[in-house]
Amino acid sequence: MMQTHIIGVGGYLPEHVMSNDDLAKVVDTSDEWIRERTGITQRHIIAKDEYTSDLATRAGAQALEDAGLSINDIDAIVVATTTPDMIFPSTASMVQHKLGGKGFPAWDIQAVCSGFVYGLAQVDGMMRGGMFQRVLLIGAESMSRILDWQDRNTCVLFGDGAGAVVLESRDDEGGIIGSVLHCDGSYRDLLLAKHAHPGASPHNNRLDLNTDAAGVAAVEMKGNEVFRFAVTKLGEVVKEVLEKYDVQQSELDWLVPHQANIRILNATAKKLGLSTEQVALTVAKHANTSAASVPLALNDIYRAGKVKKGQVLLLEAFAGGFAWGANLVRWSK
C-alpha cells in the first residue's frame, strides 16, 4: 500500500529581527507584557523588497536540497498562505517559476494558520490516490503586511517566514498516518481580516509608520474568545485523530503545534501528557507565522537532530474561520 512520506524539510526566516523592545518603540507595549501573555520574545519581519513567494522559494529550495532532488523531480507545488503576493496568479505559480520549474500543477491553499495542516491532508489524499509521486508543500506568510501596527493586541503576535516539506509516495512503512480537519464559519467574526488594503502590497511595508497604510484595518481578533475556543477544539481534535487512526496517546513522541500562544501550547501538551521536551516550541523566537508556523517548528526540531526514524509526530493547528485540524505522521526519513 502506497504511503506518503516526508523526505525533505526546509525553512526560511527573513533577516530582520524585531525584538519586543523594538516593538515597544512603535506601539504602547513592553517586553514583559508580551512575554507574560504570549511567550513571544521576538519575530522576523520581511524586507521591503521581499515577497511571500521569495520566502516560500527559499524554504522550498532547502527542502528540495534536503531531499536530494531538483525542481524537475517534482509533480506539483502547493503553497498554504494568507498573504499572497497578488490576488492572482497564485503564489505557488510564482514559486514554481522562481525554482525553475514549469508545466506541472501549482496552487495555493487558504486556511489561515491551519493552511499547512490542511495542505498536508489534501496532498496526502491525492498522493494515496495515485495522482502525484512527489509534491513540494510550503507554508509561507508575510503577516507583518496585514497588521495594524497601532493595535498592540494583534501586532505583537505575528511574524513572517516559510517552512516546507517534500512529500513522496512509496510502498514503505511509516509516513502520514492520517488527518482530521474541521471548520465552523459561524465564529468568523472573532478572528478576521475584512478586506484588501494598501498595506498588503510588498511595495508598501506597513512597518513604516510614516506611510498612509499605517493603521488601516487588517487583522482583528477577540483574543479571550479565540483562546477559549482554540484550547477546547484542539483538545477535541487531538483526541479525535488518535482514536480515528488507533494510535495511543502514549505512542506520541512529538507534538508539532501551530505557534500561536505559549499558554495554548502548554494546555495542549498537558492534555496529551507530554513534557516540554516533546513539544516543538518556536513561538518565542518566531511568534505566530500563521501557515508557516507548523513547518517551521518541524524544521526547527529536524535541523537540531531531535526527530528519529519511527517516532510518531502529531501536527495540529487552529485558525480564523474557525478552521482547525491535525495530522499524524510516523517519521520515516
What pLDDT digit, counting tens, does each position of 241-286 carry? 999 999 999 999 999 999 999 998 998 898 888 999 999 999 999 9
Note the pLDDT of residue 259.
97
Active-site choice (258, 261, 299, 327): 258
CATH class label, 1-333 = alpha beta
Choose among 67, 47, 43, 66: nearest CA to 55: 47
**Residues 189-237 pLDDT 10s:** 999 988 654 444 433 344 443 333 333 448 999 988 998 999 899 999 9
* Greatest mean pLDDT range, 34-43, 142-151, 198-207: 34-43
Using CA atoms, how far apart are residues 46 and 205, in angstroms rounded to an integer? 9
Q: Report yes or no: 6 and 329 within 8 Å, Cβ to Cβ.
A: yes
Note the pLDDT of residue 206.
47
The share of the chain scoring above pLDDT 70, in percent, equals 93
Active-site choice (20, 44, 113, 261): 113
Q: Which helix (H) or strand (E) is 99 found in, with range?
A: helix 91-99
**Mean pLDDT, residues 11-17:** 98
Active-site choice (205, 288, 299, 327): 288
The share of the chain scoring above pLDDT 90, in percent, equals 83
Using CA atoms, how far apart are residues 82 and 55, in angstroms rounded to an integer? 13
Note the pLDDT of residue 213.
39
Note the pLDDT of residue 267.
87
Q: Which helix (H) or strand (E) is 11 found in, with range?
A: strand 3-12
CA–chain centroid gap for 319, Å, is 10
Pairing type for strands 134-142 and 160-170 reads antiparallel
Q: How far is CA 237 from CA 155, 180, 228, 271, 295, in A?
A: 28, 7, 15, 12, 19
Note the pLDDT of residue 195.
64
Domain layout of the chain by residue ranges: 1-333
Question: Is 183 among the catalytic positions?
Answer: no
Residue owning grid cell 480515528: 244
Q: Is the pLDDT of residue 5 over 50?
A: yes
Question: Is 97 among the catalytic positions?
Answer: no
Q: Report yes or no: 283 and 44 within 8 Å, Cβ to Cβ.
A: no
Question: Is 155 among the catalytic positions?
Answer: no
Q: Report yes or no: 109 and 80 within 8 Å, Cβ to Cβ.
A: yes
Pairing type for strands 76-80 and 106-109 reads parallel
Angle (CA) 56-9-177 rounded to 5° is 115
**Mean pLDDT, residues 63-70:** 98
Sign of CA dihedral 257, 262, 268, 272: positive
**Mean pLDDT, residues 87-100:** 97
For residue 320, the SS3 value is: coil
Q: Report yes or no: 61 and 99 within 8 Å, Cβ to Cβ.
A: yes
Sign of CA dihedral 314, 228, 267, 258: positive
Cell numbers representing residue 251 in the block: 505512542
Tell me what the pLDDT averaged over the chain comes to.
Answer: 92
